[in-house]
Structure formats: structure tokens, C-alpha cells
Structure 1
Amino acid sequence: MNSHEMEAHTMTGHPVYFNQAMTLFDAANSEDPNQDEGQPKELLYAQRMSDMIGRFAPGASEAAQLAVRAQHIRRWAVPRSGYPMTKEGYHAWRTGLYTFHADTAAGLMRQAGYDEVMIERVRKAVGKRGIKVNPDTQLLEDVANLVFIEHYMLGFARSKPDYDEEKWLVIIRRTWEKMSKDAQAFALSGKIRLPESLVPLITKAISP
């Protein structure tokens, strides 16, 4: 039994559909031409998302498990360079990505056999609709931010050497504010690896 099948038998109501959808998601992300640690970048990201939801919310819904796996599905197909290099262009790119990821996940779930009720539930989460009010969307947001802190924050910091402390405090606070209280507590519980060199900044940013 592979890891998908183990998840499906213990965590979902539709194991055959779930296994097929996860396989299709991974196949799509395996086509990423960008590499990270010797793997297709978005495939590794998706695996990290599934790992984190298993650690943070082991009883997560089937929809949430599917949504976190599809969070960045085929992201390279919508490059930032396709939008104006302005603040407005950046926000348009992000909004376009949400729709693209949601539509891509929906199409693959349809191939896997899911009905439109489950597809729409995952579309809503992946499309970032209802943060703070829709549990699946908020859980996706929590997991994404926990993964960013553990795996990507340090690399992002190194890529922005011109950012001063105040800029970093703003970035960390914005990340923190998007997370639920449970996710904030989990981040500080020792159950994720905080980027050691940034811990003083993180502590300062989240202090009352």
C-alpha cells in the first residue's frame, strides 16, 4: 500500500477517487521544469504541504487534503513575467493564479471521478475564497504559511538582501496575521523548524 492509499483508507470517504486525484496532481507537478533539491519544484512543494497538514491537522477533511496538494499546481505555467512589474500587476498575477490552480485541480478531480459537490469545495479552498470563514480555505492558508516558515522563509530572506528590519517585521506580521490561533500556536510549539537566523526577527514581529 503506497502513502496515498494509506491516507485514503484512514482519512477519506472516497479512497479510489482520492488516490487517482493525488496521482494526477503529482503527475501534473512532475512536469515542472524548475528544480528544487533535485526534484520538480512544485512536486516537492506539494509533498511538503501534505506532510505539514498531516502534522498540523491529521484529522483534516478529504477536501482540505486535496486542496493542499493542489495549492501550487502547475504554477510555472502562469509566470510573473506575464503581468506588469508593478504592485497592481503583482496582485493581478496572484489573483490569476488562484483561479488557474482552482480550475486545474477541478479538471483533474473530474478525471478522477469526483462529483461536482466535492470539486466545488476544493475549488473554493484552492481559490482562496472565504479565508477566516471557510474552514477548508483557512486550513489551506495555515498549512501554506507553516510550510513557508519552515522551508522557504530563509531562502526568501537571502534573496532580498536589500530588505531592512522594518520591512521584514511587516512581512512576518502579515504572514502571522493570516494564520489561525491554532496555527500560530503550532508554529511556536517546537513542532516545525523555525529558520534559526530569523528567530529574533520573528520573536520581535509577533511580540505584543
Structure 2
Amino acid sequence: MSDAPRTGHNYDGIEEYDNPLPGWWKWLFIGTIAFSPFYWVYYHSGVAGRSVEDQYGVALAAATRLQFAEIGDLQPDTETIARYMHKDNWVRVGHSVFQANCISCHGREGEGQIGPNLTDEHFKNITTLADIATVINKGAGNGAMPAWANRLHPNEIVLVSAYVASLRGKDLSGPRGPEGRNIAPWPEPPPEPEEDADQDAAEQDS
């Protein structure tokens, strides 16, 4: 019979040895508990850009820049934005750019915070689709909306413009009321060149 100390517990004649956990294990466990509130505050308190989802979006946008060679340099005009706002794979890239740079002012879903609501039918500085890219490039409101021309790739400007355009009509509620004026609906996308149409079909089938 072992001389190891026992706990004194007895279950139907079965005794329990007193084998405490190693000290290092206990302190490691206590340390994880002490660390957990700081971890929660940093990653799960809603601060923009810290969640795993937000970091994934930033990484996705960075990886997508490597794919820009396949579409070349996009022009920030109405026709190009109208075309890309109907390409789901590229709108997701614009969404990633938006999540990485715009949610602190315009809200996570474009519902508006410091900046105006992007999901309603009212627009302050926009008349055409191309104006979205112009505002992003040059800024607006005497600096209230900063210029992003020197901080984003030209293709990112076009794709985030396409994403912003796609938010119109969702009418999400935000802290700011309607601002600006009603404008004409966005134009229909131009016909796809045959080779682009074939490529889009292949991407949807894959």
C-alpha cells in the first residue's frame, strides 16, 4: 500500500490520493484568468480594426492588391463604378477597404456616425456615381471628410466607391437624420466585354 498522503475522501471504499497540481500549472492558470479581461477589452469591446474579422478584412484587402494586375488600373468614372458595383467578388474587396478605413466615421454598415448615413436616398456632395470617387479622393466638408488619394490605391478608390454605391437604398437607421438631397437612381451597368463576361461566368462556376 502506498504511503502517499490521502485527501480523506472515501467513496464506497475508494480513497483519493492527495496529488496537488504542480505550482507552475496553478500560476499559469491564474495568469490566464488575470489576462482574460485585458484580452476581452482589446479584441471584443467593439473598437474598430481590432477584431479577428476586421484584421481578416485588412489582410484580404492586402492580398487583393496582388490581384489588381488582372483588372489593370481602373478609372474612377461612372461607367467603371457602375460595372464593378455589380461584381460581387470585387464589391467584397471594396467592403474590406471600407471596414479598414471608413467605419469610425460612417459606421460598420454605412449607417453613419460622425459622417453621414450612406444607406439612405439623400446625398450632400454626390450627383453622379463618379462623384463618390471624387469625394473619396479629394475629401469634402472643409476637411471633415479627409482626402484618401495618397493613402489608397486607385483601384481601392474605385472598388470602395462601388461598395458605397451598393449601400444605397438599404435605409439603415443611424444617429444622423437624412442630409442633402435626392438624386437620380444609379445608372445600369454597361455591357460587359465578351472576354470579361466569360471570366465572370467562370468565377461563378468555380
TM-score range, shorter chain: under 0.3
User: Which structure has the larger Rg?
Assistant: 2
TM-score scaled by length of structure 2: 0.26
TM-score scaled by length of structure 1: 0.26
**Relative contact order, higher structure (CA 8 A, sep 6+):** 2
